[in-house]
Structure 1
Amino acid sequence: MASFNLTPSDPSMFILMGIPAAHVLISIPFSMFYIIGLLGNFTVLFVVGKENSLHKPMYLLICMLALTDIGTSTSVMPKALCIFWFNLKGITVGGCLTQMFFLHAVSVMHSAVLVTMAFDRYVAICNPLRYTTILTNARIAKLGLVGLIRAVVFILPAPLLLSGQPFCANHIILHMHCDYMAVAKMSCGDITVNRLYSLVIVFVVIGLDLTLIALSYGLVIKAVFRISHKKAHKKAVNTCTAHICVILTSYTPSLFSSLTQQFSQGIAPHVHTILANLYFIIPPMLNPIIYGVKTKELRDKVVKYICRM
Structure 2
Amino acid sequence: MATFNLTFSEAPTFILTGIPGLEHAHIWISIPFSISYIVVLLGNFTVLLVVGKEQTLHKPMYLLFCMLAITDIIITTSVIPKTLCIFWFNLKVITWGGCLTQAVFYTTLSLVQANVLLAMSFDRYIAICKPLRYNVILSHESIAKIGLVSLIRGLLFMLPLPLLLIRLPFCGNRIIAHTHCLPIAVAKISCGDYTLQSMYGVVIISVNVGLDLTLISLSYYQIIRELLRISSMKMHQKALNTCSSHISVLMLYYIPSFFAIMTPRFGQSIAPHIHVIMANLNILIPSMLNPIIYAVKTKELRDKVKEYIWRK
Report the TM range for the smaller structure's normalisation. over 0.9
- The answer to whether 1:280 aligns with 2:272 is no
Aligned match of 2:15: 15
The alpha carbon displacement at 1:277 in A equals 0.3
- TM-score normalised by the chain length of structure 2: 0.92
- TM-score normalised by the chain length of structure 1: 0.92
Aligned match of 2:253: 250
- The answer to whether 1:146 aligns with 2:149 is yes
Give aligned pairs, total: 299
Contact kept? 1:40, 1:289, Cα under 8 Å: yes
- The answer to whether 1:214 aligns with 2:225 is no
Offset from partner CA, 1:233-264 (integer Å, 9 cap, x none): 11111110110111111112122334654345
- The answer to whether 1:184 aligns with 2:181 is no
* Rounded Cα–Cα distance in structure 2 between residues aligned with 1:22 and 1:159: 33
- The answer to whether 1:25 aligns with 2:28 is yes
The alpha carbon displacement at 1:191 in A equals 2.5
Q: Which runs of no fewer than 5 residues in structure 2 stay unpaired?
A: 1-10
| Letter paired with 1:12 | P
* Rounded Cα–Cα distance in structure 2 between residues aligned with 1:241 and 1:21: 41
- The answer to whether 1:83 aligns with 2:86 is yes
SS at match of 2:69: helix
Aligned match of 1:42: 45
The alpha carbon displacement at 1:187 in A equals 2.1
Q: Which of 132, 135, 138 is matched with 2:135 structurally?
A: 132
Q: Which runs of no fewer than 5 residues in structure 1 stay unpaired?
A: 1-10
The alpha carbon displacement at 1:170 in A equals 1.5
**Pair 1:263–1:194, CA change in 2 (3 A):** closer
The alpha carbon displacement at 1:210 in A equals 1.6
Root-mean-square deviation over aligned CA pairs:
1.6
Bigger Cα displacement from structure 2, 294-303 vs 202-211? 202-211
What is the percentage of aligned positions where both structures have the same residue?
61
Bigger Cα displacement from structure 2, 23-32 vs 161-170? 161-170
Bigger Cα displacement from structure 2, 38-47 vs 122-131? 122-131
| Letter paired with 2:146 | L
Bigger Cα displacement from structure 2, 254-263 vs 92-101? 254-263
Contact kept? 2:173, 2:190, Cα under 8 Å: no
- 1:88-237 aligned within 5 A: 88-237=91-240
**Pair 1:153–1:275, CA change in 2 (3 A):** same
Bigger Cα displacement from structure 2, 142-151 vs 154-163? 154-163
Offset from partner CA, 1:193-223 (integer Å, 9 cap, x none): 3233212211222221122112211221222
SS at match of 1:22: helix
The alpha carbon displacement at 1:126 in A equals 1.1
Following TM superposition, where does structure 1 have runs of at least 4 consecutive aligned residues deviating by more than 6 angstroms? Answer: none
- The answer to whether 1:52 aligns with 2:18 is no
| Letter paired with 2:153 | R
| Letter paired with 1:30 | F
